[in-house]
Amino acid sequence: MISKRTIEKVFETALVEEVVGDFVQLKKSGSNYKGLSPFTEERTPSFMVSPAKQIWKDFSSGKGGTVITFLMEHEQYTYPEAIRYIANKYNIEVEETQRTPEQVSDDNEKESLFLVSEYAKNYFKKNLFSDEGKTVALSYLKERKFDDEVIGKFEIGYSVNNNNDFSKDALSAGYKINFLEKTGLTIVKDSSNIDRFRGRIIFPIKSMSGRILGFGGRILGSSKNIAKYINSPESLIYQKSKVLYGIYEGKQSIVKNDNCFLVEGYTDVIKMHQCGITNVVASSGTSLTENQIRLINRLTKNITVVFDGDAAGSRAALRGIDLILENGMNVKICNLPENDDPDSFVTNKKLREVESYFEENSKDFIVYKASLLLGNSENDPVKKAGVIRDMVESISKISDHIKREIYIKECSNIMDISEQVIYSTLAQIIKKDFNNKKKKPLKQFEPISIVKPDKKKNHVDKLYELERKIIEILLLYGNELIDFEEEVFSKNEDGISETKLSSRSLKVFEKVYMDLHVDEMEFSNQDFKNIYFNIIDCFNEYKEINIDKFINQLSEKQQLEVTNIVMDNEKYFLHDWKKNNIYPKTKQDTLSQFTVETILNLRCYLIDMKVNGFKDQSYENSINSNLLEEVVNYSNLKKLLSEKLNRVL
């Protein structure tokens, strides 16, 4: 268990814009920050972060909450994991009881896989500095000119060349064999355990938040019968197509430089970091996938693909271009000199020299395709037509009409062909793609059903909306001092009772509290009920509400409700609507009327519910004079409230 003192310190220290900014590219928007949703695919930002309230809201998926809930949603952390992550980020000492091997084995499967992987990483790191590790692995890294700083930064390790040293030690430490097998660290064969990565240098593969997902291992030696590199097999925590090596170490630099260099292998990333270029990730030898592109898209819209200076590298570059364009990103290609890869290219070069090369040799995809594909086809009309069609195919993947228009003009100039012909070809390609999508068959056994309109979907839960509106008033305006009109009863000189309207200054929360408790009414929604009493307690004790502290007292579901309420108006700042003379309506000017109207509506609705309940009891228990009297009294009260409501309206 993590101590309460640690949790409080984490919440006091953590800045939501800093933590979220590690995973999402945020841009200043007034007093808030905005960015693309990390939970849905979108082209325009609908994700908002409020430093003042220390909460975030994603309007496209409906998710929202504190810095902790972001990590739980985005990284699938448990609550303690999220606390530990932030504590580690801000160098906060975590006070907790020691976890026993039995507790480790009791964790859920996914968490157990993470724990095993973390243990393995530390084990391999330690082995790099063992006698065998220094002699075999560390000496190899030094020969390849990896310095100590970068070895430590990427936590490179070594698995000793023995069949089961790691597996034996992991089992002794309390980790179960089924989790060792599921991570791929151990191969179980004929009741024996074999270390998968034995005799290899180990490269831990991390998630964007730094969790160990899997490992890459490089053999030391030149045996033709053994694969040079092997990776962890697919598991619950490691899917190769969704991972980019170096994303954790490079994410902040990618955001800062607004560009991501994409290379092929582990050592390419590490050597570029050592050179000083840190905004770099690797696809780890796989063809670039859509999931990997989306991972980069969270941090930047710009990718520079760096490939080896050979024909294979050029072809690999071409395969990923269309996929990058299809995801609304900008792509440049940089081919290295012949016989060079990023690892060898940056070795012994100074940072400025490498940066200059990238600046001078990174070509826009349309220019790159033209130079690569044309070759000797300049004088061959058939081949040239094929090149043009290939270029237009890429242009067709661009959804932004302005970008598409620019590339059409550029293609026309480069290939010396009219824009009209390119437009015509583009239209044909787009039409063909559209028809292919229409013809796409349904999945096997997928039933074809006619969906009838659901009338209930249009039903509005009036009670929920009214109770939510009360919470909204309290959260947004609860501490404001407002003049409320009240009825004052007095007698005139003749002794006749008169009713007069008088103005009384009250805090909004006081007005709400007094009016709701007149009828001894309670919230029907348990979450709103809990939020309501927490709000009233806050105002009574602290005279104000600090959303960032208040929200931490609530359950996850209640946190989302509060976030939705307090961030609701922020969606108006996602776009520059004011430029188009669109101004979000504010209730500030009519707060007194708005508060009274909402309270009266809620009281009337609750009275209706109560009266209907009395009527049901009367029906079941025959005629009951006491119940009838209650019905009459509440009916009269509703009539009085309705009259007041009409006056307010």
| Residues in a beta bridge with 263 | 282
Q: Are residues 522 and 641 in the same domain?
A: yes
262 against 107, higher pLDDT: 262
Q: Are residues 489 and 631 in the same domain?
A: yes
Residue 137 has pLDDT above 60, yes or no: yes
Q: What is the CATH number of the domain that holds 23?
A: 3.90.580.10
Would you state the torsion angle of the CA atoms of residues 282, 287, 293, 299, taken in this order, to the nearest 10 degrees? 0
Instruction: Choose one of 203, 238, 273: the last residue of a domain.
Output: 238
Q: In this structure, what are the phi and psi dihedrals at residue 29, rounded to the nearest 5 degrees?
A: -140, 90
Instruction: State how far the Cα of 71 lies from the Cα of 18, in Å rounded to an integer.
Output: 12
Residue 316 has pLDDT above 50, yes or no: yes
Residue 102: pLDDT band (50, 70, 90) is low
Q: Are residues 500 and 626 in the same domain?
A: yes
Provide the b/e sequence for 167-196 (b: ≥16 CB within 10 Å): beebbeeebeeebbbbbbbbbeeeeebebb
Instruction: State how far the Cα of 337 lies from the Cα of 307, in Å rounded to an integer.
Output: 10
Range of the domain at 470: 462-545+585-648
The reply to whether 75 falls in a domain is: yes
The reply to whether 558 falls in a domain is: no
Q: What pLDDT score does 414 carry? A: 80
| Residues in a beta bridge with 201 | 158, 218
Q: In this structure, what are the phi and psi dihedrals at residue 336, rounded to the nearest 5 degrees?
A: -85, 165
The reply to whether 388 falls in a domain is: yes
Q: Are residues 263 and 405 in the same domain?
A: yes
Instruction: State how far the Cα of 322 lies from the Cα of 158, in Å rounded to an integer.
Output: 38
Instruction: Please state the domain count of the chain.
Output: 4
Q: HSE of 168 in the Cβ direction (CA atoms, 13 Å)? A: 8
Closest CA to 545 of 621, 448, 472: 472
Neighbouring CB atoms inside 10 A of 518's CB total 11
The reply to whether 376 falls in a domain is: yes
Supply 170's token pair: 């992991």
Q: Are residues 267 and 225 in the same domain?
A: no
How distant, in Å, are the alpha carbons of 59, 95, 215, 523 from that of 477? 23, 38, 53, 19
Q: What is the CATH number of the domain that holds 398?
A: 3.40.1360.10
Mean pLDDT of 34-47: 83
Locus of tokens 């500030």: 588
Q: What pLDDT score does 587 carry? A: 45
Residue 580 has pLDDT above 50, yes or no: no
Which pLDDT tens digit goes with each residue over 182-237?
999 999 988 789 999 999 999 999 988 888 999 999 998 766 778 889 999 999 89
Which range among 100-114, 438-452, 522-536 shows the weakest confidence by mean pLDDT? 438-452
> Are the C-beta atoms of residues 544 and 538 closer than 8 Å to each other?
yes
> Are the C-beta atoms of residues 180 and 84 closer than 8 Å to each other?
no
Residue 496: pLDDT band (50, 70, 90) is low
Provide the b/e sequence for 77-106 (b: ≥16 CB within 10 Å): beeebbbbbbbebeebebeeeeeeeeebee
Q: Mean pLDDT highest for which of 331-340, 381-390, 563-572?
A: 331-340
Which range among 21-35, 116-130, 344-358 shows the weakest confidence by mean pLDDT? 21-35
Q: What pLDDT score does 452 carry? A: 39
Report the percent of the chain where pLDDT is more than 90: 24
The reply to whether 452 falls in a domain is: no
382 against 86, higher pLDDT: 86
Q: Are residues 231 and 256 in the same domain?
A: no
The reply to whether 506 falls in a domain is: yes
Which pLDDT tens digit goes with each residue over 54-73?
888 887 777 888 888 888 77
Q: What pLDDT score does 502 carry? A: 66
The model carries a pTM of 0.62
Q: What is the CATH number of the domain that holds 119?
A: 3.90.980.10
Instruction: State how far the Cα of 394 lies from the Cα of 374, in Å rounded to an integer.
Output: 15
The reply to whether 361 falls in a domain is: yes
In three-state secondary structure terms, 347 is: coil
Q: Are residues 512 and 492 in the same domain?
A: yes
Q: What angle do CA 349, 313, 287 make, to 5 degrees?
A: 115
Q: What pLDDT score does 615 carry? A: 62
Instruction: State how far the Cα of 508 lies from the Cα of 511, in Å rounded to an integer.
Output: 5
Q: Are residues 506 and 532 in the same domain?
A: yes
Instruction: Choose one of 188, 211, 238: the last residue of a domain.
Output: 238
Residue 141 has pLDDT above 80, yes or no: yes
Supply 394's token pair: 């890429």
Q: Are residues 22 and 126 in the same domain?
A: no
Residue 531 has pLDDT above 60, yes or no: yes
Residue 581: pLDDT band (50, 70, 90) is very low
Q: What pLDDT score does 73 carry? A: 78
Counting every residue written for the chain, the total comes to 649
Q: Are residues 117 and 81 in the same domain?
A: no
Task: Give every CB contact of residue 468 below 8 A, 6+ residues apart in sequence.
Answer: 525, 528, 561, 565
Residue 265 has pLDDT above 70, yes or no: yes
Mean pLDDT of 550-563: 83
Task: Give every CB contact of residue 435 below 8 A, 6+ residues apart in sequence.
Answer: none
Residue 266: pLDDT band (50, 70, 90) is very high
DSSP codes joined into one string, 49-73:
EETTTTEEEETTT--EE-HHHHHHH
Report the percent of the chain where pLDDT is more than 70: 78
The reply to whether 53 falls in a domain is: yes
Q: What pLDDT score does 225 carry? A: 77
Mean pLDDT of 597-611: 78
Mean pLDDT of 613-617: 63
Residue 481 has pLDDT above 60, yes or no: yes
**pLDDT, averaged across the chain:** 79
Detail the DSSP E strand segments found in 478-611. Answer: 481-491, 497-507
DSSP codes joined into one string, 171-197:
HHTT--HHHHHHTTSEEEETTEEEETT
Residue 8 has pLDDT above 90, yes or no: no
Q: Are residues 397 and 477 in the same domain?
A: no
Furthest-apart CA atoms within the chain: distance in Å: 114
Q: Are residues 506 and 640 in the same domain?
A: yes
Supply 296's token pair: 């980069």
Instruction: Choose one of 188, 216, 238: the last residue of a domain.
Output: 238
Neighbouring CB atoms inside 10 A of 231's CB total 23
Number of helices (H), then strands (E), belonging to the chain: the values are 28, 18
Task: Give every CB contact of residue 117 below 8 A, 6+ residues apart in sequence.
Answer: 183, 185, 204, 211, 212, 213, 214, 215, 237
Residue 457 has pLDDT above 50, yes or no: no
Torsion sign over Cα 146, 150, 151, 154? negative
Residue 625 has pLDDT above 60, yes or no: no
Residue 373: pLDDT band (50, 70, 90) is low
